[in-house]
Structure 1
């Protein structure tokens, strides 16, 4: 190509690494540039100073006679784990290691579009309200339980959520995490808990971590079991400019 010619593939390639790149941009680039890169190619680095995730509301889910009743017990504000931000090195990019991939819930396109629009407006995705209104869409792990406490969060770019497990949750149980993104992107979450007096692994102890690739509005879910000492912090890793929503549910 001579110096005076213009390569449209270069413009598309630059757009793919800018916030707001769409699935249509990806398809056009594949047409112009050929096969997509091999898995493991580095994604755009998350913002090293992300906005703290916001918690929109707290909900308790109680099972009675097989029916789940939602009781709003209200809260809203900023959630950052004990004033400690994430490790700067950890927020730059998810590690290139094999971690379990989440299950994607079968949710209708109209609802997924609603999640994306809600995130784009700067608020939470509305996952809690959706699952309250559509009990059949809930993950199996939270359909028939005797106790549960749920929180919904949202943010842009990587951030740390300060979890608030109840005294019952501290004794052991399960934690279900649901994640939704406003764009097709990779994500990872890492759960940690505060170290006990006899722990020697540092101020926080790793509990679990999961990763996956979601399309816009898709909801990924994972349930983990833990013994005494519930997770107290959830680090969410996404690319720069990616809006995300998350619900964390502690159950028995």
Structure 2
């Protein structure tokens, strides 16, 4: 675990930024790391009915807070409101967030925690009927996605001819496949692999060969090299140690 040796060490890690300019100073002074997370994207982030959070990124963000000698404060958000909430209320955002050009217009990202891509989730009884973009992009195919994130963006770009439904609750969206109210959901392969464990009638198709690939990372404040260097150094240690992969395997294997 990263140990902080005082503000002089931190300034040395990012000589272009003064301590007074960095979000790190606020975090240390308040004793709180404010973490935006949707709570609806397992295995990365999952909010329980009692309001507690768990998941791979929840565990790692909690450990990051401990390494900074502060406590995490979980700030609930949605995919549609993620960027606005992050800018207004949070120091960092976690939970299977894809590093995209659109998000980089207003925020920075940490080093990648992993790479993942979009794959179809369907009923097992449908076999491989919706395995390709061409098979899904048909007028009779009912595609369902959660609004505001990269799943919606992917669906609108690649399935313009399909019937598209925006389902507001990502925790119940898979029930719509079970109930035959939709035919296919395209999401990150890791989430699909987790969901087929909780919904045995569903399957994730070709999870090892997704339609695309994108880095998963943590949202960070713009132009704060000091804060970013501390987060990146800590994440690199967790990734190289294999702990991030072990946490993920506990959820999906």
TM range (shorter): under 0.3
Which structure has greater strand proportion?
Answer: 1
TM-score between both structures, scaled by the size of structure 1: 0.24
Which structure has greater helix proportion?
Answer: 2
TM-score between both structures, scaled by the size of structure 2: 0.24
